């Protein structure tokens, strides 16, 4: 979720960056920005750097999810057994990544 709010004279910006590790697809970045738009706390030097990294990570996560879907599709076409847990996992990943993409789009606008 994207949050932008003021606290103690600073602007706090929180938005999702995503990664995929063992089915987990969420990580939130928080930046503290001063009145001159300089990042004073956070893992990135600028808001633009953080946003660019978030988009890059989203792209990688989408590629991973697409590959996972391709594997499931292949198994179904070959009439091989498909684990219902895999279907749930990839569905969850797709829904979450869609939500993260909408949030990042909104933040970018």
pLDDT in tens, 1-47: 788 899 999 999 988 888 777 766 767 788 999 988 899 999 999 99
Q: Where are the domains of the chain?
A: 3-108
The chain-wide mean pLDDT, for the chain, equals 89
Is pLDDT of 96 > 90?
Answer: no
In a 13 Å sphere around the CA of 49, the CA atoms on its Cβ side amount to 10
Residue 26's pLDDT is what?
Answer: 65
State how far the Cα of 10 lies from the Cα of 2, in Å rounded to an integer: 16
Q: Name, in order, each residue with C-beta under 8 angstroms of 87's C-beta and a sequence gap of 6 or more.
A: 72
Helix (H, G, I), strand (E, B) or coil at 107: helix
Which of 70, 66, 59 minimizes the C-alpha distance to 100? 59
């Amino acid at each position: 979720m994207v949050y932008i709010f003021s606290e103690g004279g600073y602007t706090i910006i929180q938005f999702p960056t995503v990664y995929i590790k063992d089915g987990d697809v969420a990580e939130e970045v928080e930046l503290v920005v001063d009145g001159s738009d300089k990042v004073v706390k956070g893992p990135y030097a600028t808001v633009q750097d953080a946003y660019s990294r978030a988009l890059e990570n989203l792209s990688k996560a989408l590629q991973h999810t697409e590959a996972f879907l391709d594997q499931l599709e292949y198994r179904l076409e070959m009439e091989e057994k498909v684990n219902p847990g895999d279907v749930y996992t990839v569905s969850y990943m797709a829904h979450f990544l869609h939500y993260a993409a909408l949030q990042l789009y909104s933040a970018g606008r």
